[in-house]
Chains A and B, each alone.
Chain A
Amino acid sequence: MTSPVFSAPAVRKGRAFPKEGGLTDSRDVAQQGFFETGFGKAIARNWAFFFLILMTIVFSLTSRGFFDIVNFQNIIHLSTGAFLLAAAETLVVITGGIDLSVGYVYGLSSVLGAKVMQILSGAGMPVANVVLLGCAASLLVSLIPGFINGIVITRFKVPSFIATMGMWGICNGLTLFLADGFMPVMGAPEIINKIGNGFLLYIDPGKSVSFFQKPSYIPDTGIRQLVRLFPNSLFLTLIALLAVGFLLRRTAFGRHTYAIGGSMDAAVRSGIRVQKHLVIIYTLSSFLSGLAGLFNLFQTGIGNYTPSGANYELMAVAAVVIGGASLTGGKGRILGTAVGVLVLAVLENGLQIMGVSAFYRYIGVGILLVIAVIIDRAFPDLF
């Protein structure tokens, strides 16, 4: 499989960063010295994490309302989709491939779920059945694009970049077909909104504590007086991330995934069933994207198609790369990816609260991404 990524060979002269043994002047020596200490190494290895902390401190000092449990929960809540998409992308990137279809599978799942719920509740079904069937439909259907991706990539030897890009077009078309052109799909039962935006704990200070449902004596308009902790979306995110992390770290399946990304040849020779493995990886990636789309439906109550130019898939790749994965495969951690998503989410949220125009965000994300890779390149053997 060919990687679309251009990576320069090490033989170049005048490289931007000195490697071991290539020290030329005192400044390099000093730099090398710092990053050889334990502390320096820790910073270089986890720069994204330290950057996240630094950013949190800066935003907390500069903008009122940033350092607030409500806002932090808000950040998590709004980036549920990003977390799941990035987790999906992590799996694929570790194998050395790339999945560009995640963003549109996300939209497809959201719209399909809403459409099914709309039709079923129009037919007068009980609400519980409507929700369950809608979820089942969109999760099952979201397996299909990934399965086809995997088959096309492994059996027909199509580069993952092309195969998933084709699937991007197909899913985009299907989504718009389901959504009747450019219309969000309405008509899903209201209960899903309550689930999607619910919290685990509702505390009325000094009066009562309740789980999952607000105390019945508080009207909908008074919900802001309550202390609400642990949004349901946090649970979903944690479960998904832990599951993927467990899969990668603790199972033979995960070790095989790293092996395939490290060297496809070696993986084949050591008896890993690479083709089957890759099909499962792409199916899993698609399933996680579908889950993200479904949760988007739960949060917003309507089926949202993915607008063109939304670039969710590129955002997911960005988070994965900031998290320390390499696009050439064999490297990447789910914790790193989570930090990558948080870096992007906190940057976005912090700038928003500071009152910076949304448009600077795009620029900020772009610059951050390049910094991530330059740091990654500068310390190649630390990760």
Chain B
Amino acid sequence: MNRDTGLSNADFKGGIRYSLGRNWVLIFIFLELLIFSLANKAFFSIETIQLILFNGTEVFLLAIAELFVIITGGIDHSVGFVMGFATVVASKSIVALSGAGLPPFASILLGSLLTVLIGLLPGFVNGWLVAYLRVPAFIATFAMLGVTHGVSELLTQGIPAKNLPSLAGDIGNGSFLYIPPSGVWSFFVRPQVERGQHVWAIIPNMVVFSFFFIALFAFILKRTRFGRHLYAIGGNMDAAIRSGINVKHDLVKTYVVSSLFASLAGITYVMKYITGKPDAGANMVLEAIAAVVIGGASMAGGSGSVGRTVLGALIIAVLETGLRIMGLQTFTTYILVGVILILAVVIEQAFPNFKR
């Protein structure tokens, strides 16, 4: 036992409690998988694991959106409704473009690009309010929540968008790789097989799509100057300013990134469910913030990583899909997410001596 800190050797690097505490998220996911597999024989399969990733796409993307802001010590309440706004903009613009005579693929592509561009706007305003007008992030992003909610309701007039080209659904629910029994692989296009033959579909498109961006921004966060500045800003704003970081610029960029990921989540939603509605992401904000906190980020800023956030989101995704397969209703998920969220911080407090 170390007299100064009151911690035993097991608490330090290489010790048992250290590795248990540090990797509790992984252990928890493993336990979840174990319990669900024991409860339901059919649970443990490639299909289920892909389904978990597929169902969790939006939560993954929103969690990354939230992560960037939380690293700087802020919070973004607006991601859920920015996502809803993006679903509305995407579905409306795709319908409009294909109505104007563009081929389906081009209209989906253009519509998505347009959505991403428009989707940067809420983030820009958020960042500007937070950085230049010194409005607390809590208030600024809540105000943006109201504005995006109102605008998207005005756009839809209360009716979810419809009549999207069926190609959108094909893309959203399709997979990256298909392996028919004949053994000839085909990418993106489902091969025609005889009735009753099983085609292995590997990695849903939307998972590829979202993890491409997640990986890209994991790289940006870890390896670029901008990424390192975010940790500096969240760790100690004063020091960041004094060391010459252009904090205002970086903060605006942070909120733009957050908004970008929310828009991407909106686009995946449109592709998956072929509809756009303002409250598409309304109840995902809890899950997104929970994922970031479970991933070990501190709400005070300065810590957090993409990999751990993805693991945090995975806890929730496994839980959600597992409970759904077991036939339990959605509200069990809410309760468990709430409990795990609090547990995550309690565990953090119990193992205070490792650095993220």
Interface of B is mostly: helix
Per the 8 Å Cβ criterion, residues 254-278 of A in contact with B are none
Is A15 touching B286 in the complex (CB atoms < 8 A)?
A: no
CA distance A256 to B173 in the complex (A): 57
Q: How far is the CA of A162 from the CA of B291 in the complex (A)?
A: 11
CA distance A361 to B147 in the complex (A): 9
Partner of B331, one of A15, A16, A177: A177
Does A174 count as interface, using CB distance less than 8 angstroms? yes
Contact between chains at A311 and B145 (CB < 8 Å):
yes
Stretch from A1-9, A34-42, A190-198, A222-230 contacting the other chain: A1-9
Chain B 5-34 per-residue mask, 1 if CB under 8 angstroms from chain A, else 0: 000000000000000000000000000000
Q: With contacts defined as CB atoms under 8 Å apart, how many contacts are there between chain A and chain B in the complex? A: 193
Give the most central of A176, A181, A317, A362: most B CB within 10 Å.
A362
A169 on the interface (CB 8 Å rule)? Answer: yes
A162 near B241: Cβ-Cβ < 8 Å = no
Q: Is the CB of A309 within 8 A of B282?
A: yes
- Given the complex, which residues of A lie within 8 Å of B346, measured CB to CB? 152, 156, 158
- Residues of the A chain whose Cβ atoms lie less than 8 Å from the Cβ of B134: 7-8, 15-16, 377
Q: How far is the CB of A349 from chain B (nearest CB, A)?
A: 17
- A159-183 CB mask vs B (1 if < 8 Å, else 0) is 1011101111111111111000100
Residue of A nearest to B347 (CB): A156
Which one of B135, B247, B299, B349 contacts A157 once the chains associate, using CB atoms below 8 Å?
Answer: B349
A177 to B328, CA, bound (A): 11
* Chain A residue nearest in CB terms to B155: A359
The interface-forming segment of B45-53, B71-79, B160-168 is B71-79
Which residues in chain A, 349-366, are within 8 Å of chain B measured between CB atoms?
357-366
A362 to B143, CA, bound (A): 8
Q: In the complex, what residues of A have CB within 8 A of residue B334's CB? A: 169-170, 172-173, 176
Whether A370 contacts B154 by the Cβ 8 Å rule is: no
Taking the closest CB of chain A, its distance from the CB of B284, in whole angstroms, is 9
Q: What mask results when residues 336 to 374 of chain A are scored 1 for a CB within 8 Å of chain B, else 0?
A: 000000000000000000000111111111110110111
In this complex, how many residues of chain B approach chain A with their Cβ under 8 Å: the count is: 64
Q: How far is the CB of B185 from chain A (nearest CB, A)?
A: 41
Interface-centre pick from A166, A327, A372 (highest chain B CB count, 10 A): A166
Judging by beta carbons under 8 Å apart, are A172 and B153 in contact? Answer: no
Q: Which of A11, A169, A369 contacts B341 (CB 8 A)?
A: A169
Of residues 16 through 57 on chain A, the ones whose CB sits less than 8 Å from some CB of chain B are 16
A216 at the binding interface (Cβ < 8 Å): no
If A158-B349, A162-B341 touch, whether A8 touches B237 (CB-CB below 8 Å) is yes
**Chain A nearest Cβ from B241, distance in angstroms:** 6
Known: A165-B286, A370-B129. A5 touches B137 (CB 8 A): yes
B129 → chain A, closest Cβ, in Å?
A: 6
A173: which B residues are within 8 A, CB to CB?
A: 331-336, 338
- The distance in angstroms between the C-alpha atoms of A227 and B164, with both chains bound, is 54
List CB contacts (< 8 Å) of B297-356 with chain A. Answer: 298-301, 329-339, 341-342, 344-346, 349
Task: Kindly state whether residue B252 has any CB partner on chain A within 8 Å.
Answer: no
Docked-complex contact B289 and A361, CB < 8 angstroms? no
Cβ contact within 8 Å between B80 and A362: no
Instruction: Tell me which residues across on chain A come within 8 A of B333, comparing CB atoms.
Output: 173
Q: Does A314 contact B (CB under 8 A)?
A: yes
B144 at the interface (CB under 8 A from A): yes
A16 touches B136 (CB 8 A): no
* Interface contact B299-A363, CB-CB below 8 Å: no
Query: A207 interface residue, CB < 8 Å from B?
Result: no
In chain A, what residue has the closest Cβ to B139?
A373
Any chain B CB within 8 A of the CB of A12?
yes
Q: Give, as a whole number of angstroms, the nearest-CB distance from B18 to chain A.
A: 20
Give the chain A neighbours of B139 by CB distance below 8 A: 317-318, 321, 327, 369-370, 372-373
Who on chain B is nearest to A12 by CB?
A: B241
Contacts of B293 in A (CB 8 A): 162
State how many angstroms separate the Cβ of B249 from the closest Cβ of chain A. Answer: 12
* A162→B144 CA distance, assembly (Å): 21
Asked if B138 lies at the interface with its beta carbon under 8 angstroms from chain A, I say yes
Is there an interface contact between B331 and A172, defined as CB atoms closer than 8 Å? yes
Residues of A within 8 A of B74 (CB): 4, 6
Residue of A nearest to B129 (CB): A370
Contact of B132 among A16, A311, A318 (CB under 8 A): A16
On whether the beta carbons of B299 and A159 are closer than 8 Å, the reply is: yes
Determine if B279 is an interface residue (Cβ-Cβ < 8 Å).
Answer: yes
Given A327-B138, A362-B147, A366-B146, CB of A169 within 8 Å of CB of B335:
yes
Residues of A within 8 A of B329 (CB): 176-177, 181
> Is A308's CB within 8 Å of the partner chain B?
yes
Closest chain-A Cβ to B339's Cβ sits at a distance in Å of 6
Does B341 lie within 8 Å of A166, measured CB to CB? Answer: yes
Complex CA–CA separation, A144 to B286 (angstroms): 21
The 10 closest A-B pairs by CB, nearest first: A169-B338, A309-B282, A366-B146, A173-B335, A362-B150, A176-B331, A173-B334, A366-B143, A308-B283, A363-B150
6 contacts between A and B (CB under 8 A): A3-B300, A173-B331, A173-B334, A309-B279, A311-B142, A377-B134
Please give 16 more A-B residue pairs, beta carbons under 8 A apart, in addition to A12-B247, A163-B342, A173-B338: A4-B137, A8-B131, A9-B238, A16-B133, A152-B346, A158-B346, A158-B349, A159-B345, A165-B341, A167-B342, A168-B286, A169-B337, A170-B335, A172-B334, A309-B279, A366-B145
Which residues of A are interface residues toward B (Cβ below 8 A)? Answer: 2-9, 11-12, 15-16, 98, 152, 156-159, 161-163, 165-177, 181, 308-309, 311, 314, 317-318, 321, 327, 357-367, 369-370, 372-374, 377
